[in-house]
Amino acid sequence: MKTLKYALRFLMRSKSYTVINLLGLAFSLACCIILMRYIHRELTVDTHCMDREHVYAICTNTEGSRGLSGLKQYNYDTISIDNRFVETMSTYIPLEKDYVISGDNRFPARCLVTDSAFFQLFHYPAVQGELSLSTPQSALLTEKYARKIFGRENPIGKVLRYSNGKDITIEGIVGEPECKTTINFDIILSSKLSQRWERMNTELYRFLPGTDINAINKAGSVPRYINDPKYDTRTHTFSLIPVKDIYWNGSLTDHEPAMFLSGNRSQLIILSGVCLLLLLTGVLNFINLYLVTLLRRGKEYGLKKVFGACGRTLFANIWIENTLLVLSALSAAWLIIEILSIPAEYVFGIHFSYTAFDGWLSIGILVLLPMITSIYPYIKYNYTSPILSIRSISGQSHSSHSRMFFLGTQYMITFLLVVLSLYFNRQLGMLLNTEPGFRTKNIMNVNLVYESKDFSSYTYESMQQRRQRVMQLDNELNTCPFIELYEPSYENILTPTFGTNYLNDKGEKVFLNIRYATPTFFKLYDIKVIEGEIPDMDKEDRRTVLVVNKAALKALGYTSIHGAGVIEENKKRANSGTSLQPIVAVVEDYFEGHLTAGVKPLSILSEHGSVAIFIK
């Protein structure tokens, strides 16, 4: 107790030192804690999975295009996974742009079609009702989406009209897991609601202990035909990817950006390095200031040692003083974090909720940091003879070497942080100011045609009615005086592309991304043609012409379109006599995704097919 009172008396007497050291350490800890909380959330993505290291999804590779899928939809020349090794198997289908109707209101929805086995693999808290898909009409809503539709009303038992015209009954409300999740949805539907969905299933497996995953992957690495090779020579391979790795493979889920999140390990490594540098800066500053203060107390410690003070007492004095300072700085750091919570959530794009990790992190800092910062001062004064400690009050040069070392190291780290901040600022400026290569102003991508994702709901009459609605919509857009140009299409310029292997005139294989577009596409986005010409085609013209960007022309080994042509590898395998398709035009490169991904070799198949609208 006397030691504690002594430490408090010293800190209160040295107000300038206490305030400067406390604020410096508080800002350092606040920055580090914010980064650590973000890094922790990234490293614990999908921990709501029962065993994310041993629950696997099927990753298929079709002619170079990779994605999450399943094996059961491949009915020709495929291999199935032996059910004797499977403990739990589930499927899901993501339907990103779907909707439900409540009363007279239509609500956009991200729907996840799955089965009850899904909840044996992933744990979601049940806020209300039961998390069960016992009937085809069963549906589960997230807590946020339920509030959006029903407000404060109890949603259990309420009936919604799904986009296919069928009624669904709300059986339960799904809570948000504590961890960050790769899959995000508004509604969970039963896979029994329909037998013909818009998308194929993605299969998830949990295997029994001892299952040889490498043997399954080896068998899946053998190329197999998708369909009868007489008509389709495309092949595919598959592999098992654990749930914990899906988040770090954004290319597997980038076709549903609103439903799937992805991460970048390189960015996480950089942030970890920045976090470490910030912590070192704060700790070194803390130790350096403490050493300056101890210079005035060398005589005091020397006298204590003369009168029999042991090393344990000396360490207790130093450790308690540092603990009190760290405790105060930690409290101030959490206050700063709370004040900056809204800007931090905006920057990182996630909501930081308080978890057990925050408590363990605070305890770890409170225990380890005073211990680390007390080691050097304790060694310095405990193993120094009392006479030297007494003389040190008038001989400050003896301690200048250690202080200069800490100060120099602190300056070097600070300089490194400044250089890194300038680099990141320049990188950010480049990303913000680099032109994507196509027009972005006065263009809207809007969804004007709402159709069901359930293909079994379509009939001949409904298809004719849909055609009439689309024709009426076209007429309205054509007569609107504020619209200069529009293109009816299911995709926009930023919609992720798929790809396949092409062959040039020398038989060399090149992987190209594929986009289907109309001649209006190039006018709408102001994509410049640098060689050749894109023919005008009306709605009755069913020709398909090949347009490539400069990156694709270079990858194919051509310098001009004169005599240049390509053919898909699978078509060449199916018919060796098939001639090359000529390249009619070359357009300027543009970024169809994130700028850091660079320009991709792109082949655009121009033909007539969200609606993209160019407003005057």
Higher pLDDT, 615 or 199: 199
pLDDT interval class at 146 (50, 70, 90): very high
Determine phi and psi for 15, rounding to 5 degrees: -65, -45
CA atoms within 13 A on the CB side of 288: 20
% pLDDT > 70, the chain: 86
Could you report the per-residue pLDDT of 89-141, keeping only the tens digit for each? Answer: 999 999 988 999 998 899 999 999 999 999 999 999 999 988 889 899 999 99
Q: How far apart, in whole angstroms, are the C-alpha atoms of residue 212 and residue 84?
A: 12
**Cα first-last separation, the chain:** 78
Q: What is the mean pLDDT of residues 144-148?
A: 93
pLDDT at 120: 92
Q: How far apart, in whole angstroms, are the C-alpha atoms of residue 431 and residue 418?
A: 20
Closest by CA to 60, choosing from 244, 290, 223, is 223
How would you classify residue 316: left for phi > 0, otherwise alpha for psi between -120 and 50, otherwise beta? Answer: alpha
pLDDT at 611: 43
Task: Give me the helix-helix angle, 311-339 and 15-43, nearest 10°.
Answer: 60
Q: What is the mean pLDDT of residues 384-407?
A: 58
Q: What is the mean pLDDT of residues 465-472?
A: 84
Highest mean pLDDT: which range of 9-23, 132-146, 304-318, 358-372: 132-146
Q: How far apart, in whole angstroms, are the C-alpha atoms of residue 402 and residue 117?
A: 63
CB-based contact 481:218 (threshold 8 Å):
no
pLDDT at 134: 87
Q: How far apart, in whole angstroms, are the C-alpha atoms of residue 550 and residue 604?
A: 12
Sign (positive or negative) of CA dihedral 388, 393, 395, 400: positive
Q: Token digits for 549?
A: 């960007």
How would you classify residue 81: left for phi > 0, otherwise alpha for psi between -120 and 50, otherwise beta? Answer: beta
Closest by CA to 23, choosing from 331, 414, 338, is 331
pLDDT at 147: 93
Percent of residues in the chain assigned helix, strand, coil, to nearest 5: 45, 25, 35
The 8-class DSSP code of residue 528 comes to P
pLDDT interval class at 542 (50, 70, 90): low
> Which residues, including other chains, have CB under 8 Å from residue 199's CB and lie 6 or more apart?
93, 94, 95, 453
H helical segments located in 73-186: 118-121, 143-150
pLDDT interval class at 63 (50, 70, 90): confident
How would you classify residue 129: left for phi > 0, otherwise alpha for psi between -120 and 50, otherwise beta? Answer: left
Higher pLDDT, 447 or 302: 447
CB-based contact 567:580 (threshold 8 Å):
yes
Residue 391: other Cβ atoms inside 10 A: 15
What is the enclosing helix (H) or strand (E) of 582?
strand 581-587
Q: What is the DSSP pairing of strand 529-532 with strand 509-517?
A: unpaired
pLDDT at 1: 55
Mean pLDDT taken over the chain:
82
Could you report the per-residue pLDDT of 230-282, keeping only the tens digit for each? Answer: 777 888 888 999 999 999 988 788 777 788 988 888 888 988 988 888 888 88
Task: Quote the distance between the C-alpha of residue 313 and its chain's center.
Answer: 51
pLDDT at 388: 57
The 8-class DSSP code of residue 157 comes to T
What is the enclosing helix (H) or strand (E) of 324?
helix 311-339
pLDDT for residue 565 is more than 70: yes
pLDDT for residue 84 is more than 90: no
pLDDT for residue 429 is more than 70: yes
Q: What is the mean pLDDT of residues 363-390?
A: 74
% pLDDT > 90, the chain: 26
CA dihedral in degrees (503, 507, 509, 515; nearest 10)? -10
pLDDT at 387: 59
CB-based contact 250:102 (threshold 8 Å):
no
H helical segments located in 340-459: 341-348, 356-382, 386-391, 400-433
88 forms beta bridges with 206
Query: Which of 36-45, 291-300, 504-513, 590-599 has the lowest average pLDDT?
Result: 291-300
E strand intervals along 362-479: 443-446
pLDDT for residue 454 is more than 90: no
Query: Which of 110-119, 310-319, 332-341 has the lowest average pLDDT?
Result: 310-319
Sign (positive or negative) of CA dihedral 502, 505, 506, 507: positive
Q: What is the mean pLDDT of residues 456-481?
A: 83
511 forms beta bridges with 501
pLDDT at 613: 44
Higher pLDDT, 80 or 159: 159
Closest by CA to 122, choosing from 216, 188, 58, is 188
pLDDT at 616: 39
pLDDT interval class at 486 (50, 70, 90): confident
Closest by CA to 604, choosing from 530, 542, 545, 524, is 545
Burial class (CB in 10 A: 0-12, 13-18, 19+), 512: buried
Query: Which of 8-17, 244-253, 351-360, 479-488 has the lowest average pLDDT?
Result: 8-17
Q: Token digits for 292?
A: 């300056």
Could you report the per-residue pLDDT of 370-379, keeping only the tens digit for each? Answer: 888 778 777 7
pLDDT at 577: 79
pLDDT at 298: 57
Q: What is the DSSP pairing of strand 159-162 with strand 86-102?
A: antiparallel
pLDDT interval class at 427 (50, 70, 90): confident
Q: Token digits for 240?
A: 């098992």
> Which residues, including other chains, have CB under 8 Å from residue 404's CB and lie 6 or more apart?
none
Q: How far apart, in whole angstroms, are the C-alpha atoms of residue 182 and residue 241?
A: 14
Q: What is the DSSP pairing of strand 65-69 with strand 443-446?
A: unpaired
- The one-letter amino acid code at 144 reads K
Q: Token digits for 323?
A: 């603990």
pLDDT at 479: 84
pLDDT for residue 609 is more than 60: no
CB-based contact 96:256 (threshold 8 Å):
yes
This prediction's pTM: 0.82
Q: How far apart, in whole angstroms, are the C-alpha atoms of residue 410 and residue 89?
A: 54
> Which residues, including other chains, have CB under 8 Å from residue 18's CB and lie 6 or more apart?
11, 12, 325
